[in-house]
């Protein structure tokens, strides 16, 4: 079994899509091992997305991630990192496959309703960042 880190981003929480997205998540075979509704501070969002700090969209991305509550998740299943990326679909919902979370719920490239770690190594870093010592086994 593998774990990954996911976020239901503020756009989807504001549109009352938490339940719909969790239903897709569970139907795709993921077990929820940790879950928290929280509003990120600017500092938390900047730290989380530090890898993108030189990108032109960084300021907008940090603003967006802090604009309202989001849901932080530890998800577990076989091959969780790759399967969650597949279940979410492409970063830009216009390019996301039919039936994926981003295709169904995202508004745009920036406001794209969900996050997923891009490697097992980054999943461990991101889980430790938001759920220090707080994940069910
Ligand atoms: N993003 C954006 N514009 C871009 C690329 C990314 O606003 O041109 C945002 C988008 O919310 C994305 C996040 O920055 O989810 C992180 O980008 P990344 O390339 O890591 O995409 P992801 O891993 O989320 O698919
Ligand atoms: Mg990424």
CB distance 88 to 94 below 8 Å: no
Ligand 1 centroid to residue 6 C-alpha, Å: 14
Reported as a single tens digit per residue, the pLDDT across 39-98 is 999 999 999 999 999 999 999 999 999 999 999 999 999 999 999 999 999 999 999 999
Q: Which residues approach ligand 1 with their CB closer than 6 A?
A: 52, 57, 61, 91, 109-110, 112, 115, 118
127 closest CA partner among 1, 35, 5: 5
All structural domains of the chain: 2-38+70-130 (3.30.70.141)
Active-site residue list: 115
pTM here is 0.97
112 CA closest ligand 1 atom index: 11
């Amino acid at each position: 079994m593998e774990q990954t880190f996911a976020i239901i981003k503020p756009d989807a929480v504001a549109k009352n899509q938490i339940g719909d997205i969790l239903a897709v998540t569970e139907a795709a075979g993921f077990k929820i091992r940790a879950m928290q509704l929280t509003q990120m501070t600017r500092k938390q969002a900047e730290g989380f997305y530090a890898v993108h700090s030189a990108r032109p969209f960084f300021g907008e991305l940090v603003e967006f991630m802090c604009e309202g509550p989001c849901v932080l998740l530890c998800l577990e299943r076989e091959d969780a990192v790759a399967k969650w990326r597949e279940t979410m679909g492409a970063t830009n919902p216009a390019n996301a496959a039919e039936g994926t979370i981003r295709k169904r719920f995202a508004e745009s490239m920036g406001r794209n309703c969900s996050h997923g770690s891009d490697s097992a190594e980054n999943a461990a870093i991101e889980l430790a960042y938001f759920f220090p010592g707080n994940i069910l086994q």
